[in-house]
Chains A and B, each alone.
Chain A
Amino acid sequence: MKRRNFIYLAGVGAAAAMFPAIPVIGNEIPVERALEYIDPAVKKILSDVALNAARSKGATYTDVRVGRYLNQFVVTREDKVENITNTESYGIGIRVIANGCWGFAATDKMDKDSIAKAAELAVAIAKENGRLQSEPVKLAPQKGYGEVTWKAPIEKNSFEVPIKEKADMLLAVNDAAIKGGADYINSILFMVNEQKYFASSEGSYIDQDIHRIWPTFFITKIDKATGKFETRNALSAPMGKGYEYLNARAEDKIQTASGTLYKGRYDMLEDAKQAAVQVGEKIKAKSVEPGKYDLVLDPSHLWLTIHESCGHPTELDRVLGYEANFAGTSFLTLDKWESKKFNYGSKEVNITADKTETGSLGAVGYDDEGVKCGKWDVIKDGILVNYQAIRDQAHILGLEHSQGCCYADNWSNVQFQRMANISLQPGKQPLTIAEQIKNVEKGIYIIGDGSFSIDQQRYNFQFGGQLYYEIKAGKIVGMLKDVAYQANTQEFWNSCVAICDQSDYRLGGSFFDGKGQPMQVSAVSHGSATARFNKVNVINTARKI
């Protein structure tokens, strides 16, 4: 997961702009232009130009992505709007197989001549690289769907909401936090609309409209006497939703002894108010005594552990070594899958891959190589049963179809295997958060995601959070700080003893999961209910300088 890009954009965090590395997301545009939608008929004509040009130069397979990627972000701090940006990126990416080798080229010049030239370049690159290829690309069969469409089921298009309304909302959030005792707050509203058109030489013409939103904030409070400071980040989740995500109803809130948690929709103002109080409590909190604790992990925290320790190691390209030079490989090697008895986790652990879950970041109708998306088991009753694959990998698993995990973050980048929504299924027996905590003798209840790091094969990890509550004899007795837990993936998931029921199931996720060279980001959700893990190693992270 790559956070630096986001940190640069937001202008917050330790890495704020030492070096001129602000990523170019696209060209800035006026707000109203984001509401225009390009006629699929036009995109079909442009796609056919590329398909024909590539075929005439000797491509045996071609796919074309005409993409319009819209981003809007509103960045504020305290009583100031720091930045309002609308960007658009529009162009065409053409991927071919020639001489059994992949080739790719992209252009933002959308005239027929430039598109044909880009298609020819893709074929030429494939042919040049053919000499470095050890075996020809083998694609899983895929029928053409003809002309089809898919639209994310949003209630309110974020791009239709006036910028002023968004800026005012963030400034109100900031005001509440400062009045509540915070010294600083940065708040950001990030919105994405991907208008993607896919066409292939196999007869698919797929038009899709995808929306994502992420409201978030970062609060800091400083103890003037000691100079010590603490932070508390928002408990929101990035979602595959429209602006309705910010209109939380009573049923979207979960009241707990430690405050309000959010499910499906988010109350940013309320969270900022409680964050301002909690950040003060963090300063006064007891520094944790290192040792073994039973951990009760909230979905706002657990999503990231799922992402790193299950999402990534079950990506088939990592398993095979395609990411060996960058993101790493995987301990979940093919022999473990073939054995059908590798106990990744305890019997409580059921993890699914799902590209269709409504409101999730990864939900689409079809992936970026034109495969209709679905849902499948990855870990079943604790056993590794499947991976996440795309068309040129499916044959390795003996699959007749791709699992639809192909994605590119822009028309200008080549698509490759990216993570589906990977989620821990809720427990089958009724179990509430309060009951989870009541059953713990010596433990820590962790809410929100924090520091994260995992090795390149996904064995050893360390995670922090936003809020840590000490549990003694079934009761929360106070807040802790300086907490991080370290574990081995297999040991950790085998220590999972109880998962709350469906009523507590919530999504967390990442807007900026990084992978590939050149690096691409992708957005992905991870669902879970509050889960308990026994006797996990907790370290104390306080130091003196």
Chain B
Amino acid sequence: MPILTQEQAKALLTKTLSYSKAEQCEINLSGADSGNIRYARNSVSTSGGTSTNSLVVTSAFGKKSGTATINEFDDASLEKVVRRSEELAKLAPENPEFMPFLGPQKYGPESPTFSESTAKMGAKERADAVQASLEQAKANKLTAAGFLSNSAGISALMNSKGLFAYNKYTNVAFNITVKTEDGKGSGYATKGYNDFTKLNAEAATAIAAKKALSSVAARAVEPGKYTVILEPTAVAVMLENLFFDMDARRADEGRSSMSKPGGKTKMGEQLLDERVNIYSDPWHPELPTAVWSGDGRPQEKVNWIEKGIVKNLYASRYWAQKTGIKSIPTPGGAIMQGGTKSLEELIKGTEKGILVTRLWYIRPVDPQTLLLTGLTRDGTFYIENGEIKFPVKNFRFNESPIIMLNNLEELGKSERTVSAESNINYILPPLKIRDFTFTSLSDAI
């Protein structure tokens, strides 16, 4: 089933809303066509395609609300789902935190989240991209394992207060791990775009291949505190844990890294090095995201960290109203302002250090300090006198992104990257950090 146009979505939602007898009614419509192909050992393993559509109806009477969902769109089904949500609302306990639905909102201009090239992708386009990747790996006598997925979809929202919102989007994700035949070298690359034509699977495979070939015969270096250069993919998995912790309620409640004694928060405080600027922007040309959030609030450009100072925390509508802060929804992505230097230039300016190309299996250790643990993976290198000298064995680290961004030496040029932990896309620079804490060695390749 092709994805619905704005007019089709509006007509469907208007019709559904016409069945409502509740005090308030809000309907979310979503639909996506997606496909994927997976390969390993230089051969395809699994692949598939799915098409889904879903209509979520929430009815409310006072502070009681009920939600029902359906994926059949004939008139009888639409009426049935509205009635069911009303029945559930009447049975539900009162939720003191229930907020009335929003009225019409003013959103910014449409963001270019949709690409025709991605929407047209099928099994053949995916197989062609994978074939190019496999040929590249085989030509270098390497073993590749990778995954390519694409989706095209819509989200729309309408409620009884007169709010309507619509967005269509496409995504393509490609990631690959390449190993040498003897298994002693491993490299990784990951790419995410809205527009499939920007994906060069062959070039991404070449990056992974280069890392695999140059990481063979890694030497053991004593764990301890090192100056590190983190590639953007490694930066992503550290920094997103800081982004995830910027919730106003948890900060106010005293149970996050954004809390201070006495029920205060770190809002307005110098938390990080003054060169740290983190923001979100739905209209960023390299990372376009929806201009409205799932509950209908507008998504705007938000400065989260400015010159190292915490400028904003996100909050639910209920919490914002209760505490009198600005009601900011969680953003669709995050951007960290970078510098002008390339990764190579950062390496060139480093006397002694470790180049970390990827971090993996990141888990929180202490929520108070945001201490995280995890490991380096798929290519870690020793830098001396501005040059990569030799590959080193992987390390386990225990480090906090807050401590890390206070030990900032230098920022490189920002680029779009993907978190291998959450699959969220970001724009982040490579970072040079002093005193990054490695606590043990790993034999893993």
Contacts and interface: CB of A to CB of B under 8 A. Distances in A.
Contact of B361 (A80, A82, A455): A455
Interface centre among A14, A84, A413 (most CB of B within 10 A): A14
Interface string A102-118: 11111110000000000
A545 B254 contact: no
Contacts of A108: 52, 71
Contacts of A543: 366, 369, 371, 400, 403
A328 B445 CA distance: 10
A457 B253 CA distance: 39
A220 B367 CA distance: 11
B253 A541 contact: no
Interface in A198-250: 220, 222, 224-229, 231
Nearest to B249: A16
A128 B438 CA distance: 46
A477 interface: no
Interface residues of B, number: 105
A451 B70 CA distance: 38
Contact of B49 (A121, A462, A537): A121
Contacts of A416: 46
A135 B43 contact: yes
A43 to B, nearest CB: 20
Contacts of A15: 241, 244
A128 B403 CA distance: 50
B41 A322 contact: yes
B350 interface: no
B67 to A, nearest CB: 6
A82 B316 CA distance: 13
Interface in B398-432: 398, 400, 402-403, 406, 421-422, 424
A517 interface: yes
B24 interface: no
B332 A19 contact: yes
A484 interface: yes
B62 interface: no
Contact of B127 (A80, A129, A225, A460): A129
Given A18-B314, A84-B92, A121-B49, A455 B44 contact: no
B60 interface: no
Contact of B377 (A124, A231, A455, A462): A455
Interface centre among B42, B43, B441 (most CB of A within 10 A): B43
A102 B127 contact: no
Interface stretch (B2-10, B31-39, B112-120, B227-235): B31-39
Interface string B337-368: 00000000000000000000000111111111
A105 B49 contact: yes
Contact of A14 (B67, B92, B241, B440): B241
A428 to B, nearest CB: 32
A388 interface: no
Nearest to A333: B183
Contact of A486 (B67, B179, B360, B440): B440
B444 A455 contact: yes
A452 B406 CA distance: 26
A454 B362 CA distance: 9
Contact of B47 (A129, A167, A229, A322): A129
Contact of B398 (A121, A167, A323, A541): A541
A18 B67 CA distance: 22
B336 interface: no
A28 interface: yes
Interface string A168-206: 000000000000000110000000000000000000000
Interface centre among A132, A325, A464 (most CB of B within 10 A): A325
B439 A20 contact: no
A517 B368 contact: no
Contacts of B170: none
Contacts of A447: none
Contacts of A19: 330-333, 422, 424
Given A324-B177, A462-B396, A21 B261 contact: no
A104 B47 CA distance: 7
A339 interface: no
Contacts of B243: 18
A521 B145 CA distance: 20
Contacts, number: 252
Interface stretch (B12-20, B93-101, B103-111, B156-164): B93-101
Contacts of B362: 453
A102 B443 contact: no
A461 B262 CA distance: 37
B127 A131 contact: yes
B54 interface: yes
Contact of A517 (B38, B260, B403): B38
Given A14-B256, A222-B255, A484-B365, A451 B176 contact: no
B246 to A, nearest CB: 7
A460 B444 contact: yes
B120 to A, nearest CB: 16
Contact of B67 (A28, A102, A456): A28
Nearest to B88: A30
Interface in B287-320: 293-294, 314
A419 interface: no
B241 A128 contact: no
Contacts of B373: 451, 453, 462, 484
A515 B45 CA distance: 14
A16 B315 CA distance: 11
A229 B122 CA distance: 51
B40 interface: yes
B175 interface: yes
A129 B247 contact: no
A132 B439 contact: no
A457 B377 CA distance: 10
B41 A457 contact: no
Contacts of A413: 48
B245 interface: yes
Contacts of B127: 128-129, 131-132
Interface centre among B43, B257, B365, B398 (most CB of A within 10 A): B365
B313 to A, nearest CB: 11
B443 A331 contact: yes
A21 B45 CA distance: 27
B48 A106 contact: yes
B69 interface: yes
Contacts of A222: 254-255
B44 A132 contact: yes
Interface in A501-542: 516-518, 537, 539, 541-542
Interface of B: 36-52, 54, 56, 67-71, 84, 87-88, 92-93, 95-97, 123-124, 127, 130-131, 134, 143, 145-147, 149, 175-177, 179, 188, 240-241, 243-247, 250, 253-257, 259-262, 293-294, 314, 330-333, 360-371, 373-375, 377, 394, 396, 398, 400, 402-403, 406, 421-422, 424, 439-445
15 contacts: A14-B245, A19-B332, A19-B333, A30-B87, A104-B46, A108-B52, A124-B123, A132-B131, A134-B41, A227-B259, A229-B367, A456-B377, A459-B444, A542-B366, A543-B371
Given A80-B97, A457-B445, A518-B149, 8 more contacts: A14-B370, A19-B333, A27-B70, A105-B48, A183-B255, A325-B145, A331-B444, A455-B444
The 4 closest A-B pairs by CB, nearest first: A227-B261, A460-B442, A455-B444, A457-B444
